[in-house]
Amino acid sequence: MDKIYMNQLSFYGYHGVFTEENTLGQRFLVDLILELDLEKAAADDELEESVDYGEIYKSVKKIVEGKPVKLVETIAKAICDELLESYEKVFACTVKVIKPDPPIPGHYQSVAVELRRGRNE
C-alpha cells in the first residue's frame, strides 16, 4: 500500500486532565500516515485520484482545536475515525498526537500517543 505522510501539523488546543490545560491551552503536533492506492493518481496526475492535503489538515484542525477532551488518546481516535469516515480512498491511517509541553515534571522532548486504524480492523 502506498503512503502519504503529513508531519508536525501544529495546532493549539485546550485538552488535558489538569485545569490549567483546559484554561491556558497548549500546542499539539500531529503526524499522519495515510495508506491508500496512489497508482492512478501518479499515472493520471489528478488530485481526484488522491486526497486533498489541505482538506485533511482542516479535518484534523477541527478536532484538535475543537471541544476539549482529557486524553490525547481520545484526540487520536477521533482523527482516525474522521479520516476513515470522510476519505474513502484512505484504507488505513496512523495518527500520532504529540504534546510538546505537557505539565508533568522531568526532562523530555515530548509525550505522544500513536494509533493505527484500518477499514477492516
CATH number at residue 27: 3.30.1130.10
Cβ pair 8, 38 in contact under 8 A: no
- Predicted local confidence at residue 113, as pLDDT: 98
- Of the pLDDT bands very low, low, confident and very high (cuts 50, 70, 90), residue 6 is very high
Among 40, 58, 96, 99, the one annotated catalytic: 99
Cα 4 to the center of its chain, rounded Å? 13
Mean pLDDT over 73-100 rounds to 97
Residue pair 34/83 in contact by the 8 Å Cβ criterion: yes
pLDDT one-digit tens code per residue, 49-78:
999 999 999 999 999 999 999 999 999 999
pLDDT band at 13 (very low <50, low <70, confident <90, very high): very high
* pLDDT for residue 24: 95
Domain count across the chain:
1
pLDDT of residue 121: 57
SS3 104: coil
In this prediction, residue 104 carries a pLDDT of: 84
pLDDT band at 107 (very low <50, low <70, confident <90, very high): confident
Range of the domain at 80: 2-118
Question: According to the model, what pLDDT value does residue 87 have?
Answer: 97
pLDDT classification of 85: cutoffs 50, 70, 90 = very high
Is 40 one of the catalytic residues? no
Please report, rounded to a whole number, the percentage of residues in the chain having pLDDT higher than 70: 99
Residue pair 32/9 in contact (Cβ under 8 Å)? The answer is yes
